[in-house]
Structure formats: structure tokens, C-alpha cells
Structure 1
Amino acid sequence: MSEQSLPNEEGMEFPEEHVGKGRTSRSTASSPRPLIAEDGGAREASGSAEPAPASFKPASKIAKPSERKSSVPRARRMKLSLTKIDPWSVTKVSFLLSIAGAIIQIVAVALIWALLNAIGLFDNITQLIDSTGLKDSGGFDIASILGIGKVLSATTIFSIFEIVLITVLATIGAFLYNITSALVGGLHVTLGDD
């Protein structure tokens, strides 16, 4: 049998027996093919029916509102257990939170002292003591005892003790929680998507 050669798009010739058996030139394999033929949907002249590519999807019907509601996923729920707390983590967090609380406490005491001084409370107490005669008999002066410097110094010392106490108690609480959760199983929490 004589082999006839057919030219391809690049001008190269292949024997006829290899044409259509899975061997195609690089240019014909990569050339785009229209999804719908221009002649009203007819296939190529060779007569081979090629299926539409997988990415081609025909337009679907618009879903009814009742169908849309059924496609919404239900809320998920998870049951979790808190079985261990890292004591070092608790120490760091409680230390920083107690420092923040101490700063708030010092600022609040300073503001309250300024408010009481503005309304004249300390002057009224001093006048009351003067009218009773306690000042002449070796009494005390309330304005010198409750000055802003002494009040803020006492509040700062008290806040430092609070920082140490809160940090130590929180760390001990974390150790006690770990021991208790080893016996009981810890806290059980249910989380859900709402």
C-alpha cells in the first residue's frame, strides 16, 4: 500500500496511517476550538462528534426561594473540653492585667482627690475641727494628712502589693485547676455557629 502524506497547518507532512490515531501536531492540539459551531451547531466536517469540554456547563434554571432555603447548611455545634491551662501563660496575663488595674486605680484615686478638693471637703473638715477646738489641744490637721502626695504614695504601695498578690493567686489557681481537671475532666464547652 502506498502511504499518502497529508500536510498539517505548519506545512509538515505525516503519513496517512498516523493521522487521526492520537498523534497531532503541537499547533493543532493547542489551537482553540469553538464551543458552538458557527453553522447553527453542526459539528466539524469530518463527522466526528466531540463532546463539550468539562468546564462548559449549560445555563441552569433559577432556583426557587424554597430550594435556596434548603441548601443553606445547618449550624455546626462542637463540644470542647478545657482540660489544661498553662501556668506560665496565666502568670504573664495576670501580671499584665494587674499592672493595668493598678494604673487605673492610681488615676482614679487622683481624680477623686481632685474632685473632693475642688468641692472644698478638706477645708470644711479643717474648719469643723477648728470650731470644736481639737486643733489647739494638739489635734491633727486633715489637710496635711490627706495631701495629694501622701495619698498617691499610699495608693502606689497598695497597688504594688495587689500586683504581686493577684499574680501569685492566679498562678496557684492555674495549678489547682490542672489538678482538678485531671480528676474530673475539665470544663465542657459547646460552641456553635449562629
Structure 2
Amino acid sequence: MSQPAGQRARRRGEQPPVAVESTSAAGWPVDPTADAPPSATRSEYPSEKRRRKLPEPRRARVYVTRLDPWSVAKAAFLLSLAIGIVIVVAFGFVFWTLDSTGTLDAVSRTIDDVLGTGGFDLLTSLELSRVLGLAAVIASVEIVLVSALATLFAFLYNVTVGLTGGIEVVLSDN
């Protein structure tokens, strides 16, 4: 739709133009009620900024009323498997660091000084294969426990959701 010359289409919610009686030295219209300096352009007036409203973000309220125990078990297994791998790698890295810096030798000498000669030899007991084996056992126990407990908590959540109504999650546009 074409507009007559000098006019523009007004958008919904937009105020009609204000009649201005005075002009600045540069020829720009001056609004006597505005706090802006006379050299400011029309779009920089604070009254113009106040008129523009940002659209409200959309919000949706969702209630989590059921957890599928099998899905929870699978997700917990994968998460605990990743944590188990981190445990094994961390044990190996710490052992390698302590061995390469000579800390294990210093601790072994300190134990020999405290217990006397012919005592406990730390270096023969601590080998990389034993440390990684211990880390693998700890990681395996962690995987089984986390998976089982997460599944148990999913069952318990499904039982109690009848009393509580579930957890409310609010999703909104940002």
C-alpha cells in the first residue's frame, strides 16, 4: 500500500508524531519537554525510548511427572563410565608424576628411616600395573553403584510424584 509523500505507515502501538513549534540552530525540531540537548536527533530523545516496548518473552511451564527408569539407567551408566575412565587416567597420571619427580623414592626412604632397615619397601609394592588395577576396581564399583542408585531414585521419584505433582520447569525465550 503506497503512502502519500511525507507520510509513513504507523506501526501498532506507535504514538503519532508530536507537533513541535521550535527548531534548533541546525534546523532540527526541538521538543521542549525532552531532556536532550538541542543538537540531538529525534530518535535520541528519552521520551522516544520509553515508548518502545520490547516483546515479553514466551514462557511455558512443564511438569516432570514421570521418569523412565530404563532411560535413567542408560544415562547414568554412560555418565558413570565417563567418570570411571577419568578415575583410571587420574590414578595413572598421579602415579607417573610422583614416580618421575622422585617423590616415591623419598617416601620410601622416609619409611625405611622410621621403621628401620629390612622394613617395608614401598617401590616393590607400588607398580604402575597395580595402581591401574586398583583404579579399575574402584571405577567398576563406582559404575555399578551409580547406575543402580540412579535407577532406584527414578523408581522412587515415580512413586512420590503422585503426592507432590512433579517438578515444575519453566522454559522461556531469552
Q: State how many pairs are aligned.
A: 135
Which residue in 2 is equivalent to 1:69?
A: 52
Q: Is the 8 A contact 1:106 1:156 kept in 2?
A: yes
Question: Which residue is 2:29 aligned to?
Answer: none
**Corresponding residue of 1:50:** none
Could you report, residue by residue, the CA deviation over 1:113-151 in whole angstroms, capped at 9, with x for unpaired residues? Answer: 111112211111222233345342xx2210111211111
Q: Does structure 1 residue 163 correspond to structure 2 residue 110?
A: no
Confirm whether residue 176 of structure 1 aligns to residue 159 of structure 2.
Answer: no
CA distance in 2, matches of 1:58, 1:123: 89
Counterpart contact for 2:112–2:120, Cα < 8 Å: no
CA deviations 1:2-27 (Å, max 9, x no partner) are: xxxxxxxxxxxxxxxxxxxxxxxxxx
Provide the identity percentage: 36
Counterpart in the other structure of 1:150: 130
Q: Please point out which of 69, 93, 101 is paired with 1:87.
A: 69
Measure, in 2, the Cα distance between the counterparts of 1:92 and 1:133: 50
Distance 1:101 1:176 in 2: 24
Q: Using a 3 Å threshold, how does the CA distance of structure 1 residues 133 and 82 change in structure 2: closer, same or farther?
A: closer
Gap regions ≥5 residues in structure 1: 1-56
Q: CA shift at 1:91, angstroms?
A: 0.6
- Residue in 1 aligned with 2:168? 188
What TM-score, normalized to structure 2?
0.69
- Runs of 4+ aligned structure 1 residues displaced above 6 Å come to none
Give, in whole Å, the separation in 1 of the partners of 2:167 and 2:139: 32
CA drift at 1:62? 5.7
Summarize the Cα distance change of 1:169–1:127 in structure 2 as closer, same or farther, 3 Å threshold: same
Cα distance change on mapping 1:113 and 1:62 into 2, 3 Å? farther
The Cα offsets for residues 158-191 of structure 1, whole Å up to 9 and x where unpaired, read as 1111101110000000000011112210011222
Judge conservation of contact 2:112–2:121 (CA < 8 Å) in 1: no
Q: Distance in 1 between matches of 2:73 and 2:106?
A: 46
Bigger CA radius of gyration: 1
Structure 1 length as normaliser, TM-score? 0.63
Structure 1 residues 130, 82: closer, same or farther in 2, change over 3 A? same
Match of 1:101 among 56, 60, 83: 83
Question: Does the 8 A contact of 1:129 with 1:135 survive in 2?
Answer: no
Q: SS at 2:171's partner residue? A: strand
Contact 1:94 1:167 in 2 (8 A): yes
Shift of 1:61: 1.3
| Distance (whole Å) between structure 1 residues aligned to residue 152 and residue 116 of structure 2 | 50
Question: Is the contact made by 2:104 and 2:123 (CA closer than 8 Å) also made in structure 1?
Answer: yes
**Consecutive unaligned residues in structure 2, runs of 5 or more:** 15-42
Secondary structure of the equivalent of 1:140? coil
